Structure formats: C-alpha cells, structure tokens
A and B are shown apart, each in its own frame.
Chain A
Amino acid sequence: AQSVTQLDSQVPVFEEAPVELRCNYSSSVSVYLFWYVQYPNQGLQLLLKYLSGSTLVKGINGFEAEFNKSQTSFHLRKPSVHISDTAEYFCAVSDTGSNYKLTFGKGTLLTVNP
C-alpha cells in the first residue's frame, strides 16, 4: 500500500515569488509520481509526472518537480508564480505494477497574492 503526505495544507505567496510545495510518499514497491492541480469547481488537471529516467521533471505552466528516492520526496517548484496559479495542488502516487489506482495526498492550497 502507498501513502502520500503533503506537508503544508496552505501556502500563501506573493506574485512573482518562487514557491515549493512539498510531498513525501511511502511505498514498499516502485511507484509513479504525479502532481495535479484543481481550480475551483473543476476536476483535476495533470501538471507533471515521473515515470522513470531523469529525476527532474518539467510540466505545464512552468512547474517542475524533482524525484528524490532516498528521501521519498517529490516536491513541486515554480520560480515565479502568477495570480492565476491560485488553486489546490495534489500529489499522487501509483504502483508501477498495477498503475490503475492513484493514491492522493490531502492537497495544498496555493494562494498567490498581488
């Protein structure tokens, strides 16, 4: 079984500041890792994913994440945020052997202030 811990429930930042949203996971097997974004009253949109290969993954909207196997972390970063980045962000994992099930963290609300 897998579990995901998002260390911050809320992260307020000012526009154009850098941001890091933290995610740690627990699993006894190899995993795929994901970050999703959810805007108010909408479904989930995939920001980026780590399947294999380079541990630095680039996604949409200028976001990137780094997979650290030794620390079982997959933190999301953006060097300069915009007001439009205000949303809920979810980290998720799935088992590479049966990757149908996504296990999500509780989410981090990113609020970008002017």
Chain B
Amino acid sequence: ETGVTQSPTHLIKTRGQQVTLRCSSQSGHNTVSWYQQALGQGPQFIFQYYREEENGRGNFPPRFSGLQFPNYSSELNVNALELDDSALYLCASSLSLGRLTYNEQFFGPGTRLTVL
C-alpha cells in the first residue's frame, strides 16, 4: 500500500508568481485535504476535496484554489504569490464513508515553498 506522496519536495518562487503543488492520495482514498504550516505554527486548513468537488474551505483567499482528479490525486494552486505564502504545504488523504463518520487523515511529507 502506497502512502501519501507530494511533489515537489522544495520550491522557490518570487513574489507575484503562480505555483502548483501536487499530491497523490493513499490507495483507496477518495478525499484530499490541504493544510498550510507556517514556520513555528500548527497546520491551518485550506480546503478539502471529495469526489472532485470542494467540500469545505478554511480562511484562505480565492487565489488559493485546488483540483481533484478522477484518480483522487490533487493539486493546490496559488496565484499572485506573497511573501507570507512561504510555508510547508501538507496534503492529507482519507476515505470518506459518510458525513458523520470519522475519517482518519493520513498526511504526506509536505512541499516546502519559499517565496522571495
């Protein structure tokens, strides 16, 4: 069974640029969540995708967007990068069996984005 993988591992961009981060879910999982972890902070929920549709969003501006593909892999896109977007971006996959059912989230190793 393959765990959650993310690419790239590290990325350096300049302010104003756009970036795409990728996540491959654990085998059999149908839900992907994205989190931003700034240095010295806990992860913050960005959004979740379930069966290719957004299923909840945290307090992030619209320039943070995502996609989920039929194979349940996912992308996180960030437009007009700002210095404060520098962070570790974590992807977590889970198998959703129902809204009131606990679904354990399995985290990938993250992509470290540096914005200069």
Footprint of B on A, CB under 8 Å? 4, 32, 36, 41-46, 49, 51, 90, 92, 96-107
**Is A99's CB under 8 angstroms from B56's CB?**
no
- Are A44 and B48 CB-contacts (below 8 A) given A51-B102, A98-B56, A100-B31? no
User: Looking across the interface, which residue of chain A has its beta carbon closest to that of B57?
Assistant: A101
Interface positions of B (Cβ within 8 A of A): 4, 31, 33, 35, 40-45, 48, 50, 55-56, 58, 90, 92, 96, 99-100, 102-110
> Known contacts A51-B102, A96-B100, A98-B99: does B109 contact A104 (CB below 8 Å)?
no
Q: How near does chain B come to A21, taking the closest CB pair, in angstroms? A: 13
Q: Establish whether residues A106 and B58, one from each chain, have CB atoms under 8 Å apart when the complex forms.
A: no
- A107 / chain B contacts, CB cutoff of 8 Å: 40-42
Q: Do A43 and B45 touch (CB < 8 A)? A: no
30 A-B residue pairs with CB within 8 Å: A36-B107, A41-B109, A42-B110, A43-B4, A43-B108, A43-B109, A44-B43, A44-B90, A45-B107, A46-B104, A46-B106, A49-B104, A90-B43, A92-B42, A98-B99, A99-B100, A100-B33, A100-B48, A100-B55, A100-B96, A101-B45, A101-B48, A102-B33, A102-B35, A102-B43, A102-B105, A104-B43, A104-B44, A106-B42, A107-B41
Query: What residues of chain A lie closer than 8 Å to B4, measured between beta carbons?
Result: 43
What residues of A have a CB within 8 angstroms of the CB of B103 in the complex? 99-100
The B interface is mostly helix, strand or loop, or mixed, namely loop
In angstroms, how far is the closest chain B Cβ from the Cβ of A88?
Answer: 9
In the assembled complex, the Cα of A52 lies from the Cα of B45 at a distance in Å of 24
Measured between C-beta atoms, what is the minimum distance from B44 to chain A in Å? 7
Least distance between B16 CB and chain A CB atoms (Å)? 28
B109 touches A99 (CB 8 A): no
Please indicate the chain A residues that have their CB under 8 angstroms from the CB of B42 in the complex. 4, 90, 92, 104-107
Q: What are the residues of chain A within 8 A of B48 when measuring CB–CB?
A: 100-101
How many Å lie between the Cα of A107 and that of B107 in the bound state?
16
**Does A43 lie within 8 Å of B40, measured CB to CB?**
no
Residue of A nearest to B90 (CB): A43
